[in-house]
């Protein structure tokens, strides 16, 4: 039996059946969102269905993170839906910062409410930040997200950069043919000049994506849209997780690529995901989640849960590498958190 209060060095880390050390947990704080991104948010029926889900409370979220912290997870990322809509987000960050072993606390946000919550989040212990931004053109931004919110997002981004609290503020851009691919060069230049680390993300086939095959654009094609003098230099490559990021001489920012389709990274995947309804997900593209929150609610101790989770991930359910183009399973991004 794992004793959460015991010496952490004696507790074996979470290792799955492919020998991957699972040290990174993403948690969806809510499935609600103040944006309506056409590739993510879903139909009225979807929204009605997810509205009925019973979501984790902030105490339950922190308890479950304690379980994972005891098993060697050292990095957590809060996501959603829009995580800043969770009224307890600052308290959750503060409570996570007190969990032994958790060194990195990250947030992935659409940035709309970022400026107003930023200083409290930093004080509470937030030390990693990703902001999603698919367009620098106000009208197009509005078409993609359903909200005329570009000025607010840019203000949030600048405030985060100028706070000095984050080594680098990251920007996530999903590139879609015929939607924002014409902006790739501009986005790269903007990020390099303004000191952000912008990662171009290949559009993935998820439950609510429409016309995926038509809109998907490969990393090679994305790269070809970046001006020659700003082309990523392979000599300046750094790689952290699925992102491959490049410095370009003479600029403070960086650009990178996350290419789940054309450059699969399953063999080095170190992440687990906790959905907003408290189900643990091993792989974004496998339909095999486990209802952890019901176990917690049934009175299972955190020690017992840790024991269960450790044995669970070592089993073959999590063994197969994702081959999402063929698996047919399509995750719902706003409940899982991307």
| CA dist., res. 232 & res. 244, Å (int) | 10
Choosing from 180, 334, 335, 336, the residue that interacts with ligand SF4 (CB under 6 A) is 334
Task: Please tell me whether residue 206 binds ligand SAM under the rule CB under 6 A.
Answer: yes
Count of CA atoms in the C-beta half-sphere (13 A) of 292:
33
- Give the x-and-dash track for 73-102 against ligand SAM (CB under 6 A): ------xx-x--------------------
The residue among 141 and 318 lying less far from ligand SF4, judged by its C-beta, is 141
Binding partner at 41 among ligand SAM, ligand SF4, none, C-beta below 5 to 8 Å by kind: ligand SF4
Count how many residues are written for the chain.
Answer: 338
- Please, which of residues 71-90 interact with ligand SF4 by CB under 6 A? 80-82
97-101: list long-range contacts, CB under 8 Å, 24+ apart: 97/124, 97/125, 99/62, 99/65, 99/66, 99/69, 100/8, 100/69, 101/8, 101/69, 101/70, 101/72, 101/73, 101/74
C-alpha span between 60 and 29 (Å, rounded): 11
| Residue 37 is a binding residue for ligand SF4 (CB under 6 A) | yes
Q: Does 203 bind ligand SF4 (CB under 6 A)?
A: no
Q: Does 26 bind ligand SF4 (CB under 6 A)?
A: no
- Angle between helix 114-124 and 89-97 (nearest 10): 20
Mark residues 215-244: x for contact with ligand SF4 by CB under 6 A, - for none.
------------------------------
Choice between 181 and 303, CB closer to ligand SF4: 181
Of the pair 198, 201, the CB lying nearest ligand SAM is at: 201
Rule CB under 6 A: say whether 132 interacts with ligand SAM: yes
Shortest reach from residue 260's CB to ligand SF4, in Å: 15
Under the binding rule (CB under 6 A), the answer on residue 55 touching ligand SAM is no
Q: According to the 3-state scheme, what is the secondary structure of 210-244?
A: CCHHHHCCCHHHHHCCCCHHHCCCHHHEEEECCEE
| Cα-Cα end-to-end distance for the chain | 33
Q: How many CB atoms lie within 10 A of CB 101?
A: 16
Q: What is the CA radius of gyration of the chain?
A: 19
Q: Does 126 bind ligand SAM (CB under 6 A)?
A: no
Choose the contact partner of 201 out of ligand SF4, ligand SAM, none; CB within 5 to 8 A by kind. Answer: ligand SAM
User: Alpha helices, DSSP H only, in 82-149?
Assistant: 89-97, 114-124, 138-145
Binding site for ligand SF4 (CB under 6 A): 33, 35-37, 40-41, 80-82, 110, 132, 333-334
Binding site for ligand SAM (CB under 6 A): 33, 39-40, 79-80, 82, 108-110, 132, 172, 174, 201, 203-204, 206, 209, 333-334, 337-338
């Amino acid at each position: 039996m794992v004793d959460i209060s015991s010496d952490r060095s004696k507790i074996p880390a979470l290792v799955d059946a492919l020998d991957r050390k699972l040290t990174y947990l993403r948690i969806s704080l809510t499935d609600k969102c103040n944006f309506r991104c056409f590739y993510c948010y879903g139909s009225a029926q979807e929204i009605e269905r997810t509205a009925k889900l019973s979501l984790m409370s902030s105490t339950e979220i922190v308890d479950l993170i304690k379980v994972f912290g005891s098993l060697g997870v050292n990095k957590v990322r809060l996501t959603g839906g829009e995580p800043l809509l969770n009224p307890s987000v600052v308290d959750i960050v503060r409570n996570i910062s007190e969990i032994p072993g958790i060194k990195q606390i990250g947030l992935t946000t659409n940035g709309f409410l970022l400026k107003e919550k930023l200083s409290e989040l930093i004080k509470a212990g937030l030390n990693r930040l990703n902001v999603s931004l698919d367009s620098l053109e106000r009208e197009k931004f509005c078409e993609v997200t359903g909200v005329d919110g570009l000025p607010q997002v840019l203000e949030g981004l600048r405030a985060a950069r100028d706070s000095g609290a984050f080594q680098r503020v990251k920007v996530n851009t999903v590139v879609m043919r015929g939607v924002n691919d014409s902006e790739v060069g501009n986005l790269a230049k903007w990020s390099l000049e303004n000191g952000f680390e912008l990662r171009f993300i290949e559009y993935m086939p998820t439950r609510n994506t429409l016309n995926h095959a038509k809109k998907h654009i490969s990393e090679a094609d994305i790269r070809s849209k970046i001006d020659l003098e700003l082309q990523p230099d392979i000599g300046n490559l750094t790689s952290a997780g699925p992102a491959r990021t490049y410095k370009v001489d003479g600029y403070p920012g960086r650009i990178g690529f996350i290419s789940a389709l054309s450059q699969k990274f399953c063999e080095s995947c170190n992440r687990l995901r906790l959905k907003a309804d408290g189900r643990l997900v091993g792989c974004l593209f496998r339909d095999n989640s486990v209802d952890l929150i019901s176990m917690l609610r049934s009175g299972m101790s955190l020690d017992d849960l840790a024991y269960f989770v450790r044995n669970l991930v070592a089993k073959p359910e999590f063994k197969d590498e994702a081959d999402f183009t063929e698996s047919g399973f399509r995750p719902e991004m706003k409940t899982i958190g991307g």
